[in-house]
Amino acid sequence: MKLLHTADWHIGRTLNGYDLLDEQKHAFEQIVSIAKKEKVDGIIIAGDLYDRAVPSTAAVTAFNEMLKRLNILEKFPLYMISGNHDGAKRLNYGRDWLSYNKLYLNTLLEEAFEAIETPEAQLFLLPFFDPIDARIYFSQKGQPEEEVQKIKTISDAMALVIEKMISQFTPNKKHILITHFAVTKGKEDELELTSETLSKVGGLASISATQFAAFDHVALGHIHTALASPSTKVQYSGSPVKFNTKEAKNQKGVYLLEISSDAPIHSRFIPLTPKTDLIVLQESWETLMDKEFYSNYPCHKAWFAITIKDFERVAHAGENLRAQLQTIYGTIIELDYQDKQQAAKRKARQNIETMSNEKIISSFYERVTGAKISPFQTKIIENTLIKLEGEQK
């Protein structure tokens, strides 16, 4: 049995105002080609199908055509889940009859406990969910209230979810989990936060790969680079398209999983080629204007994100620098100017973007009061954030 693992399509995404749909269609055609060449038995799309909960008409139309191509015309079974960018309840519409054509789409926690059976494997499709979702589910299923109240982090919830899944394992089959979270080897600082500003309400980003030890393979979505994979057994496929400058140097691609009942699952990364590459340059104005420098780059063929280092505003007063750079490089999707003061501000902003909500609150408290936050106060903050997250759903 062969499965193609992809994730984080984010249909409808833009890059600083530039529509990425043509880039996404280009990547999609390569995915179709790989699936046909390798004669896969199904395609995994591990969440963030759309870029936002209420996608545009163009995004819905494009994704509908992609699903039609894969599932109806090419007849590939699809194993899909919703991610944190998707509108779970909206996507759930039509789920029951889609499965009759082997298009499996789970968007709610309770759906994850019914495995999809193949001769070789059981596939558990676990969509993105919050701790409050787990509290509600396990409370309704008769879990003791004192145990339910202990579910404060996604790690707490995941322990119960996996325990229930394990109880449904069929012996002598491979057990594959498809899910959409930030997963580390065990320490949060080992995770490459290249995809987006991660929501960490209630420790949302602190799942350890060790929690998935019972599974033969875990196909992940959420982080946009395969380099963030905790192991060869717990893997991110990454997104098929570069969505921001942090991803500019990442090789995009998909994983091919080869599954048999009597051998370990083997995975192989297959690269994708961008239609329009994204190149990040951080150089002085003099260097950027030097023909010997820019002749090394695919000018007017790629997109460029340029930071002018050691910038002197007075020296260039009244000049249209973007126009000058566009004449040489072509499309510039981002232009920044960096002096020492701006660099310090940028570093502070990036630090905030990668901090959890709890950490932001505690840092603010310490800055204002000069005292460290207490464990009792920390617990209040965690519970409040969990409740707020639940109210926003």
**Which structure tokens are listed for 67?**
């699903």
Q: Which amino acid is residue 232, in one-letter code? A: T
What average pLDDT does this structure show over 353-382?
Answer: 80
Taking alpha carbons only, the member of 92, 47, 100, 96 closest to residue 71 is 100
Q: What are phi and psi of 272, to 5 degrees?
A: -110, 150
What lies within 8 Å, CB to CB, of 40 at 6+ separation is 2, 3, 4, 34, 76, 256
| Domain shared by 202 and 66, yes or no | yes
| Domain shared by 173 and 225, yes or no | yes
| Domain shared by 252 and 326, yes or no | no
Taking alpha carbons only, the member of 198, 220, 278 closest to residue 20 is 278
Q: How far is CA 102 from the centre of its chain?
A: 24
**Which structure tokens are listed for 255?**
């994983």
pTM across the whole model? 0.81
pLDDT at position 385 is 77
| Domain shared by 308 and 265, yes or no | no
Do the domain assignments include residue 349? no
Contact 304, 332 (CB under 8 A): yes
In angstroms, rounded to a whole number, what is the distance separating the alpha carbons of residues 280 and 245? 7
Could you tell me where the DSSP H helices lie in 231-300?
Answer: 285-288, 291-294
| Domain shared by 81 and 148, yes or no | yes
| Domain shared by 332 and 366, yes or no | no
Query: CB-side exposure of 260: number of CA atoms within 13 Å?
Result: 4
Contact 177, 165 (CB under 8 A): yes
- Report how many domains make up the chain: 3
Contact 49, 63 (CB under 8 A): yes
pLDDT at position 73 is 96
- Which of 230, 250, 271 lies at the terminal end of a domain, its last residue? 271
Q: Identify the H or E element spanning 166.
A: helix 154-166
**Which structure tokens are listed for 280?**
């990040």
Q: For residue 45, is it left (φ>0), alpha (ψ between -120 and 50) or beta?
A: beta
Do the domain assignments include residue 253? yes
Question: Binning pLDDT at 50, 70 and 90, where does residue 340 land?
Answer: low
pLDDT at position 190 is 45
| Domain shared by 261 and 290, yes or no | no
Do the domain assignments include residue 331? yes
The answer, yes or no, to whether residue 189 has pLDDT greater than 90, is no
User: DSSP secondary-structure letter at 243?
Assistant: -
Rg (CA), the chain: 23
According to DSSP, the residues that pair with 303 across neighbouring strands are 278
**Which structure tokens are listed for 313?**
């505003």
Q: Between 193 and 29, where is the model more confident? A: 29
| Domain shared by 383 and 246, yes or no | no
| Domain shared by 285 and 374, yes or no | no
Question: Binning pLDDT at 50, 70 and 90, where does residue 390 land?
Answer: low
In angstroms, rounded to a whole number, what is the distance separating the alpha carbons of residues 317 and 101? 63
| Domain shared by 224 and 312, yes or no | no
| Domain shared by 80 and 217, yes or no | yes
Contact 113, 141 (CB under 8 A): no
| Domain shared by 88 and 192, yes or no | yes
Do the domain assignments include residue 287? yes
pLDDT at position 147 is 86
Do the domain assignments include residue 350? no
Do the domain assignments include residue 337? yes
**Mean pLDDT, all residues of the chain:** 88
Contact 20, 243 (CB under 8 A): yes
In angstroms, rounded to a whole number, what is the distance separating the alpha carbons of residues 64 and 12? 12
CB neighbour class for 83 (10 Å; exposed up to 12, middle 13-18, buried from 19):
buried
Each residue's pLDDT tens digit, 139-187: 998 888 888 888 888 999 999 999 999 999 999 999 999 999 999 886 5
- Which of 254, 271, 288 lies at the terminal end of a domain, its last residue? 271
Domain span at residue 387?
Answer: 355-392
